[in-house]
């Protein structure tokens, strides 16, 4: 099934190219953009895989390594919420889905180093200190991968992302690439329109 998710971007490449052509040159698919998350979803038989990628800013309110107790508490809270995907994705009870595997990764969790901002790119996050020296903020992502086994996958008619927007209000939109029984689709969901059909 992991291969299915890895193939998803290639299967949806025509949709992504069409969507990217409509976007501003600064807001391309896959780019680190605050307020925007990405979700790959694939339903194959009884297996549902979801892969959520989001700038840490959307989920915890910052992207630096936590040094204060308040920041550390925010990371623990976000991680705890991400560790409960049945609630986060509001999967229908009738589908009988159980978590078969899950993996959370982020430099904020101590898994990997933060990504430095490319100095050739123009970013609003460049900061000058009192001496006039520029400092670049680091970008941190939070990646969550879930695999569910669903006893009645036919009951998965929709994927409701409202709880993600409610839990992480800094998330303004999620770019979704989905493969399901009715084919493949690439859509953008918001808090006001947080549900999509499989």
CA–CA separation, 28 and 145 (whole Å): 22
Number of domains in the chain: 1
User: Would 130 be classed as within a structural domain?
Assistant: no
β-partners of residue 159 are 196
User: Would 127 be classed as within a structural domain?
Assistant: no
Under the banding of pLDDT at 50, 70 and 90, the label for residue 63 is confident
Q: What is the per-residue pLDDT across 131-154, written as a single tens digit (0 to 9) for each?
A: 444 444 567 899 999 999 999 999
Q: Say whether 13 sits in a helix, a strand or coil.
A: helix
Crossing angle of helices 13-22 and 2-11, rounded to 10°: 50
User: Would 164 be classed as within a structural domain?
Assistant: yes
User: Would 81 be classed as within a structural domain?
Assistant: yes
Q: What is the per-residue pLDDT across 102-130, written as a single tens digit (0 to 9) for each?
A: 999 998 887 544 444 343 333 444 444 44
How far CA 6 is from CA of 2, 49, 71, 179, 184, in Å, comes to 6, 11, 33, 12, 14
Structure tokens at 185: 């689709």
> Which of the residue ranges 22-36, 144-158, 163-177 would you say has the lowest mean pLDDT?
22-36
What global pTM score does this model have? 0.73
What integer pLDDT is reported at residue 138 of this predicted model?
67
């Amino acid at each position: 099934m992991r291969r299915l998710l890895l193939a998803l971007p290639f299967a949806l490449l025509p949709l992504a190219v069409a969507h990217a052509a409509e976007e501003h040159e600064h807001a391309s698919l896959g780019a680190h953009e605050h307020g925007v998350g990405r979700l790959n979803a694939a339903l194959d038989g009884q297996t549902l895989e979801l892969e959520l990628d989001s700038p840490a800013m959307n989920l915890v309110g910052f992207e630096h390594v936590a040094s204060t107790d308040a920041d550390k508490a925010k990371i623990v809270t976000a991680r705890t919420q991400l560790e409960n995907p049945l609630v986060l994705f509001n999967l229908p009870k009738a589908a009988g889905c159980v978590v078969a595997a899950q993996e959370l990764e982020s430099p904020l969790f101590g898994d990997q180093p933060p990504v430095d901002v490319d100095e050739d790119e123009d970013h609003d996050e460049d900061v000058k200190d009192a001496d006039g020296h520029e400092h670049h903020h680091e970008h941190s992502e939070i990646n969550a991968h879930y695999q569910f086994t669903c006893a009645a996958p036919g009951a998965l008619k929709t994927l409701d992302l409202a709880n993600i927007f409610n839990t992480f209000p800094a998330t303004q939109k999620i770019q979704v690439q989905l493969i399901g029984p009715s084919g493949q689709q690439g859509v953008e969901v918001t808090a006001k329109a947080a549900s999509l059909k499989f």
